[in-house]
Amino acid sequence: MTIHKEGRTLLFVLLIIFVGIIWGADYFFPESVIRIIIIAAAIVFYLLILQFFRSPVFEIPKNEKQVLAPADGKVVVIEEVEETEYLKSKRKQISIFMSPVNVHVNRMPVAGTISFCKYHPGKYLVAWHPKSSTENERTTIVAKMKNGTEILFRQIAGALARRIKWYVKEGQPLQQGEEFGFIKFGSRVDLFLPLDAKVLVKIGDVTKGGRTAIAELA
């Protein structure tokens, strides 16, 4: 387990602030219950932020026929939809909601070359809202597999997630399970798969990014 690069500066600054808070509690409230409460609250808050930026290290089970979960979280949508931004055709949509306690590293669901990447500013509706996929701040990324199949996935900001980070650009090749982005403090990732893809998960299933197979491609 490591700490993700997106959190290192923030955690260092917070550590300095909390050391100051604890020193102040010792100075102004010695031998007081208030001191204990302040110190305990500071430690708990810091640990919560620390766990949010954790980045587990593990072996990626690569499989060209499988689509891996792009994020830790819970499956909240499985449906047939019309994808209107890039693919412009009907697809199977699978959406994964990421709560603040999940790992927020986003990983490539398939191996391929990035054929499209676009950032959209937008609203901050709760991530499970039906319109969050088209109205919230988001990025749309498309990976073209070596057999020509294109898989579209979106990072979507939620009510708490106010910062989406992506590390890819058009023309860049990436391996399955490789990190492509990070979303801070709760969010959602949508995938749009071919209609003949076999979905391996159901609503409510818990996923692990880069480890859980969520679909099989024909």
Domain residue spans of the chain: 2-55, 66-216
Q: Average pLDDT of the chain?
A: 89
Tell me, what's the pLDDT at 174?
Answer: 96
Tell me, what's the pLDDT at 67?
Answer: 97
Tell me, what's the pLDDT at 134?
Answer: 65
Q: List the catalytic residue out of 95, 132, 133, 187.
A: 187
* 132 assigned to active site: no
Tokens of residue 143, six digits: 């990976």
Q: Is the alpha carbon torsion for 111, 115, 133, 181 positive or negative?
A: positive
Tell me, what's the pLDDT at 51?
Answer: 78
Q: How far apart are CA 194 and CA 151, in angstroms?
A: 8
- Mean pLDDT for 54-81 is 91
pTM of the model: 0.83
pLDDT exceeds cutoff 70 at 183? yes
pLDDT exceeds cutoff 90 at 100? no
User: 3-state DSSP call for residue 10?
Assistant: helix
pLDDT exceeds cutoff 90 at 107? yes
Q: What is the CATH number of domain 66-216?
A: 2.70.70.10
Residues 6+ apart with CB under 8 A from 17: none
Q: How far apart are CA 116 and CA 119, in angstroms?
A: 10
